[in-house]
A and B are shown apart, each in its own frame.
Chain A
Amino acid sequence: MIGTTALPEGGRVDFARLRAERRTRLAAAMAAHHLDALILGRPANIVYASGARQLWTAGARPFGPGAVVVRETGHVHLLSTWDDGVPAEIPHDDLFGLSWNPANLLAKLAALPGLKAARRVGTDSSSPGFGQFLAAIAPEAELVDAGPAIATARAVKTPDELACIETATALAEAALDALTEAVRPGVGERELVGVYLACLAGRGEPAPPTEGVVCATPRHGPVSLRQVPTDRLVGPDELVVLNPGARYAGYEGGVGRTWVAGPSEPTAAQRALAQRCRDALDAVLDQCRAGRTGADLRRAWEATGEPLPAAPLAHGLGLGMETPVVAAGCGDGAELVPGMVLAVQGWVQAEGVGGFLERHVAVIAEDGPRVLSRFGRGPVA
């Protein structure tokens, strides 16, 4: 765990080592995939390559170059108008400032040493006009999908990365604790989201993986897992999903539980629903070991007779959500390797009872999962 006390002897996470190991992995992946340069637009990939602190903004933005990695020189060129939040290994010469005019951006990229001669340039996304743009800065270059190379670099976590994910998970547990204190009949979903965000910010990490962490489920009529916060008030004795995540140094952790709003004790039907969720989720967790695939996870869930939830059953965690994504039609071929971190989530529902969710964060190991998230299973047991 990381506190706020200054550590003059050096932190418990060696961030310089963390960044160096990421760069080494990225360079190895570039070499293995024969990429001469990477042009990165996704914030998490920019952080992976550069180590720079990025301003958190919500949502997905169209592709635009935010960092350029040149294999020949080993330099990481970063879109940043200032050096605040930029690690020392990126010299001022390797920063390029914000442009609104594409011609100015093009001129800046065209001047980056070693890029012009690149033959294979990988990007983490693209846009319909980007091929032409690339031809102007690297005339000989073929534009290729850098996704597989980046996924290779990011999938297996270093010990420092695991320490960050574990710290983030501890922050999520703090938020879950605050949420369980706040949940009661009459409290609004919005109010609970406010409690969640205030708890994270109060611990120094306001930017959430997602704001969609609270869902009160009805005791009558159809049940679904909603992630958009609403004006809905929690009703008496309803099952309420509390599924917070948190970030530390960009790394994501999380934990999910389902609480009963009270005032009554959980009913037998609610307990039975919880048991269904836990049985199915335990079956999935048991498959979270080296050598298994996404299909093994999916089949383990389906073998319990539960329908596959609409939300992913499992997905990678690192600098935020990452591949693999195991969901309906997705991720069957993903191979689990030691050091990969997965968020594993189960959801079951029953009309007249409500919905029940649990989520764990686990490190894949040879002999089974090492579950990082800790929290009591709550009143519905």
Chain B
Amino acid sequence: MTVDGQPIPVEADLARMRRERQAKLQAQLGAQGLDGLVLLGTSAVAYATGAVVPGMDSGRAALLRPIALVVAGDDVPHLYTPYPEGAPADLPADHLHDPLYPDLDDGVPAATEAIAERFGAGAKLALDELPHPLARALAGYRLVSAAAAMGAAKLNKTADELACIRRAQRINEIAMTDVLPLLRPGVRQTDLSAVFLRRIFELGATSNGIDPIWQPMTATRAAGPWTTHGDIAFPTASTDRVLREDDVIWVDSGIHYEGYASDFGRTWLVGADPRPTDRQRRQYERWREVVEATLAICKPGVTALELGRAAIAANGGHKPWIEHFYLAHGVGTDSAEMPLIGTDLGEAFDEAMVLAPGMVLVLEPVIWDEGAAGYRSEDIYAITDDGWEALSDYPYDPFGVTP
């Protein structure tokens, strides 16, 4: 199975991956008539530069952020970073710079100077964020959102990007094999997090992406948290809450490898020898039917709307996903990015989203069974030249085991 004629390699060629991403960004600058990109968000900078940063809290990540300047016509990005050790080894020295502080008034002079060095007065620049101090530094430039350029560049992954996602997912999955045996009565959510976080770093993760979710699901919607839409609350934050025998646990986690996110989702049961009831087994079987019906038509040229309809048909005419989420989302340097399928963006949006090689789908149908909670798992698929290829590979214990 290939993507644009290339098989997904076991090891990503990171230098080639950066070159190909840069070419896509340059193509977008041309297509959209932009003189450059000024990127501040962690995932956008990772995409544009390949620079690695330590995982950190959002406030610190904003004050001590790496910044990418992508200049039209220059096939290498400029990186301004507090973490030069994370810059790619092949980034030329004249493209690696001291950090800027665009979120601080004191940072305005240096930011003004850096941008003036790269762009002429009146240049048209696309940004993913515009902190107020940076806005003062950019007076005199034409500013637009970077969403269109970044979205178009990121949508279809190269074979190397897919290899990074697969590696991130593999690290996540292997770490989970050490967590599952701990799922005994009395374990705390944070005890599970402790083992998971330790293992992902031993296994080579660049950073964690999200505080792992281990949410016990109530039998009915009403027994769970109140919600604005009346549907299930998920995912809710983990605490030192004690888990109990027979709890139905929806697991959700994500880590990063070379900038790329994993997305692991499974339904687990708490107990020394957990066995799903017949009703729970039927939930899982229905979930499989939805996934199989979706994958059966999944290939380039099919629309997101068609995938959604196939999933709904396989679930007896009911939408098999949570009201505030989706049947599927993409994953890349963001843990949830385009394509989104089944959101409040609406049917016209889904109809216009046509699958193409290199797109990634995290399929996450939810089979809610009022009175007996429900089943939810996530798996990652890359759209290939003639179909799909799984990037995740993890069993469905204790549901997948035949009794």
List, sorted by A's number, 24 A–B pairs whose CB atoms are closer than 8 Å: A43-B59, A44-B57, A55-B210, A58-B209, A59-B56, A80-B228, A82-B224, A82-B225, A83-B226, A83-B227, A100-B326, A101-B344, A125-B131, A204-B190, A206-B190, A206-B212, A224-B84, A226-B85, A229-B54, A231-B204, A310-B99, A321-B60, A323-B63, A325-B101
Beta-carbon contact of A63 and B60 below 8 Å: no
Q: Chain B residues near A37 (CB, 8 Å)? A: none
User: Restricting to B176-195, which residues have a CB under 8 Å from any CB of A?
Assistant: 188, 190-191, 193-195
Beta-carbon contact of A197 and B41 below 8 Å: no
User: Restricting to B145-199, which residues have a CB under 8 Å from any CB of A?
Assistant: 145, 188, 190-191, 193-195, 197-199
Beta-carbon contact of B226 and A325 below 8 Å: no
Q: Chain B residues near A123 (CB, 8 Å)? A: 132
* Given A57-B210, A194-B202, A229-B54, CB of A128 within 8 Å of CB of B130: yes
Q: Chain B residues near A212 (CB, 8 Å)? A: 54, 56, 83
Beta-carbon contact of A202 and B58 below 8 Å: no
Main secondary structure of the interface of A (DSSP, over half): loop
Asked whether B235 is an interface residue with its Cβ less than 8 Å from the other chain, the reply is yes
Chain B interfacial positions (CB closer than 8 Å to A):
40-44, 52-65, 82-86, 98-99, 101, 103-107, 109-110, 126-133, 135, 143-145, 188, 190-191, 193-195, 197-202, 204, 206-213, 224-229, 233, 235-240, 256, 324, 326, 335, 340, 343-346, 349
Asked whether A205 is an interface residue with its Cβ less than 8 Å from the other chain, the reply is yes
Beta-carbon contact of A127 and B194 below 8 Å: no
Q: Chain A residues near B54 (CB, 8 Å)? A: 210-212, 227-229
Q: Mark A202-230, 1 if CB is under 8 A from B, else 0.
A: 11111111111000000000001011111
Choose from A97, A126, A228, A311 the contact partner of B135 (Cβ within 8 Å).
A126
* Given A44-B58, A198-B197, CB of A323 within 8 Å of CB of B104: yes
Beta-carbon contact of B237 and A331 below 8 Å: no
Beta-carbon contact of B190 and A202 below 8 Å: yes
* Given A62-B128, A83-B226, CB of A57 within 8 Å of CB of B58: yes
Q: Chain B residues near A327 (CB, 8 Å)? A: 101
Rounded to whole Å, the gap between the CB of B262 and the closest CB of chain A is 13
State A300–B53 Cα separation when bound (angstroms).
30
Beta-carbon contact of B237 and A85 below 8 Å: yes
Asked whether A352 is an interface residue with its Cβ less than 8 Å from the other chain, the reply is no
* Given A58-B209, A97-B324, A202-B191, CB of A85 within 8 Å of CB of B236: yes
Beta-carbon contact of B59 and A44 below 8 Å: yes
Beta-carbon contact of A193 and B127 below 8 Å: no
Beta-carbon contact of A190 and B59 below 8 Å: no
State A226–B81 Cα separation when bound (angstroms).
12
Tally A residues with Cβ within 8 Å of B.
87
Closest 9 CB pairs of A and B: A59-B42, A212-B54, A201-B194, A82-B233, A145-B132, A320-B59, A97-B228, A84-B225, A194-B198
Asked whether A71 is an interface residue with its Cβ less than 8 Å from the other chain, the reply is no
State A207–B60 Cα separation when bound (angstroms).
13
Beta-carbon contact of A206 and B144 below 8 Å: no
State A101–B144 Cα separation when bound (angstroms).
19
Beta-carbon contact of A98 and B204 below 8 Å: no
Q: Chain B residues near A197 (CB, 8 Å)? A: 194, 197-198, 201, 208
Beta-carbon contact of B226 and A100 below 8 Å: no
Q: Which residue of B lies closest to A191 (CB)?
A: B202
Asked whether A247 is an interface residue with its Cβ less than 8 Å from the other chain, the reply is yes
State A206–B83 Cα separation when bound (angstroms).
23
Q: Chain A residues near B190 (CB, 8 Å)? A: 201-206
Q: Chain A residues near B202 (CB, 8 Å)? A: 188, 190-191, 194
Q: Chain A residues near B40 (CB, 8 Å)? A: 60, 62
State A84–B184 Cα separation when bound (angstroms).
24
Q: Chain B residues near A128 (CB, 8 Å)? A: 126-127, 130, 143-145
Q: Chain A residues near B106 (CB, 8 Å)? A: 325, 329-333
Known contacts A97-B227, A227-B82; 5 further A-B pairs (Cβ under 8 A): A201-B194, A319-B59, A322-B63, A323-B104, A330-B106
Choose from B200, B208, B237 the contact partner of A54 (Cβ within 8 Å).
B237
Q: Chain A residues near B238 (CB, 8 Å)? A: 206
Beta-carbon contact of A53 and B345 below 8 Å: no
For A59, A126, A227, which residue has the most chain B Cβ atoms within 10 angstroms?
Answer: A59
User: Restricting to A4-18, which residues have a CB under 8 Å from any CB of B?
Assistant: 4
Rounded to whole Å, the gap between the CB of A227 and the closest CB of chain B is 5
Asked whether A104 is an interface residue with its Cβ less than 8 Å from the other chain, the reply is yes
* Given A57-B58, A62-B129, A201-B190, CB of A82 within 8 Å of CB of B104: no
Q: Which residue of A lies closest to B65 (CB)?
A: A60
Beta-carbon contact of B104 and A325 below 8 Å: yes
State A85–B238 Cα separation when bound (angstroms).
10
Rounded to whole Å, the gap between the CB of B181 and the closest CB of chain A is 16
* Given A202-B190, A204-B239, A325-B101, CB of A209 within 8 Å of CB of B132: no
Beta-carbon contact of A228 and B85 below 8 Å: yes
Q: Chain B residues near A56 (CB, 8 Å)? A: 57, 210-211, 237
Rounded to whole Å, the gap between the CB of A319 and the closest CB of chain B is 7
Q: Chain A residues near B57 (CB, 8 Å)? A: 44, 56, 58, 207-210, 247, 252, 320-321
Asked whether A24 is an interface residue with its Cβ less than 8 Å from the other chain, the reply is no
Beta-carbon contact of B59 and A322 below 8 Å: yes
Asked whether A81 is an interface residue with its Cβ less than 8 Å from the other chain, the reply is yes
Q: Which residue of B lies closest to A46 (CB)?
A: B58
Beta-carbon contact of B229 and A206 below 8 Å: no
Asked whether A278 is an interface residue with its Cβ less than 8 Å from the other chain, the reply is no
State A257–B3 Cα separation when bound (angstroms).
49
Beta-carbon contact of B145 and A129 below 8 Å: yes
State A143–B362 Cα separation when bound (angstroms).
38
Rounded to whole Å, the gap between the CB of B57 and the closest CB of chain A is 5
Beta-carbon contact of A100 and B343 below 8 Å: yes
Rounded to whole Å, the gap between the CB of B340 and the closest CB of chain A is 6
State A211–B200 Cα separation when bound (angstroms).
12
Asked whether A315 is an interface residue with its Cβ less than 8 Å from the other chain, the reply is yes
Choose from B135, B228, B349 the contact partner of A82 (Cβ within 8 Å).
B228
State A207–B133 Cα separation when bound (angstroms).
29
Q: Chain B residues near A226 (CB, 8 Å)? A: 83, 85
State A63–B104 Cα separation when bound (angstroms).
16
Asked whether A95 is an interface residue with its Cβ less than 8 Å from the other chain, the reply is yes
